[in-house]
Structure 1
């Protein structure tokens, strides 16, 4: 004899007739929803509660609410709403957003501003500017095209040259700048 599986005496939920509780009946059971959402931070509880009620109402409208006729109507509705709230609370708790969100009245105040001026960075910036100034104009122009909001192809068209030529000039200019900086830093 085969062992019976749990719930084998009940017919599947899809065989139960559809019920259409009104939105007022669903809203009257907000207490069970709020009790289920007790572990969610207060600041987000109202949003998750609204999502639970909205999902429940949409499921009723689609005909997905099919309670067991043997249950009392109110008990069946409460169990069903508890299940929806439980699933949505689980989704909320395990979402990456809720694990990583940091609420702060001044979020930009969390950024650490460097104290004073970084003299080393200023010296390096001056070295790069001096090295660029010593390059021929066509190489400087090619290096500055990288900062242009237009693409390299648009840069080439503006100067009536082949895009491959523009890319080659940019590569040569980068190599020349790197060579100059290496020599100056020795």
Structure 2
């Protein structure tokens, strides 16, 4: 039997703060291979979920630099994994409005208005929930407590982590 459990938002945010300006040596740094933002976001989500999904191709896992799921490092693949309709092991999420974001959630930015290219991690949401009051941590242009309003983007999508499906 599988069931949804809470996502540890505090653990995800603490990890984000700890590694926003550094690199955890347990994970490869993809900065010079297209960017490290989604790798960092995945690490934060893993800190809050504690479980990976080792399904080949469509899972969400990291073993080493050469053995990882596309969803671990790819912006659209992370979105597809977290918003999947199948009931499979790992963190799960859903599209949400800006005011529904909570610390530990993910935002994805499109700089050109087409594909999404960046996956910052939400570390704080102020009141009212406006771009200047949502603070993020990210790799690829390392940042911590950076207001979303300081990014120049054309499109934004917000991803609320709803919980973790355990075996």
Task: Tell me the TM-score range normalised by the shorter chain.
Answer: under 0.3
Rg larger for: 1
TM-score by length of 1: 0.20
Q: Which one has the bigger helix percentage? A: 1
